[in-house]
Amino acid sequence: MHSTQKLCAVALFALAIQAASGEEHIVQAVIDHWQPQTTFAKPGDTIKFMNMTGHDTQSYDTMIPDGAKPWRSELGQTGFSVTLDKEGAYLFRCNPHVSMGMVGAVVVGDKSPPNLSKIEAEVANVKLAQNMVNRAVKKMKQELEQKGMK
């Protein structure tokens, strides 16, 4: 193999690794809410939670796509990250501040989440801060509509 061919092969391999690793999206904990409240990502992207002093993040196990892995960070665990491979919507909360409205969503994929109706039905089963979870779902649906994904 000529040196030019080797160089091209190495460059293509590096690009493939970069493409396979996905993007990183930052979600900031800001007093009593997530910024952004709804994050849009592609399969394989990573969500990184920052500014987590006094906060944690935990997915709602029944409000993530079938087969997706739920998550829970430690309180104050800045830099906690989760890579999301399954298309659909993921709802999450900050346990100390959920009753103040600290509920967020990640939508993975470029179409309406296939688990959206399941999430809407599951809101009725939420025990703590149901109104705040419902508000986050409504906000996510508004953003989906604005992006033409609903």
With a cut of 90, say whether residue 2 has pLDDT above it: no
pLDDT digits (tens, 9 = 90+) for 34-55: 999 999 999 999 999 999 999 9
The gap from C-alpha 150 to its chain's centroid, in whole angstroms, comes to 18
8 residue type, one letter: C
Beta strands in the chain (DSSP E): 24-30, 33-35, 38-41, 45-50, 58-59, 81-84, 88-93, 103-108
* pLDDT confidence band for 123 (50 / 70 / 90): very high
* pLDDT confidence band for 150 (50 / 70 / 90): confident
pTM comes to 0.86
Cβ pair 67, 29 in contact under 8 A: no
Q: Which domains does the chain have, with CATH numbers?
A: 23-146 (2.60.40.420)
| pLDDT given at position 5 | 52
With a cut of 90, say whether residue 13 has pLDDT above it: no
With a cut of 50, say whether residue 18 has pLDDT above it: no
pLDDT digits (tens, 9 = 90+) for 50-62: 999 999 999 999 9
What is the mean predicted confidence (pLDDT) over 14-20?
44
Pairing of strands 24-30, 45-50: parallel
**CB 46: neighbour CB atoms within 10 A?**
15
Cα separation values, 18 from 21, 23, 24, 74, 85, Å: 5, 9, 12, 29, 16
Average pLDDT over the chain reads 91
What is the mean predicted confidence (pLDDT) over 86-103?
98
Cα angle: 49, vertex 55, 57; to 5 degrees: 55
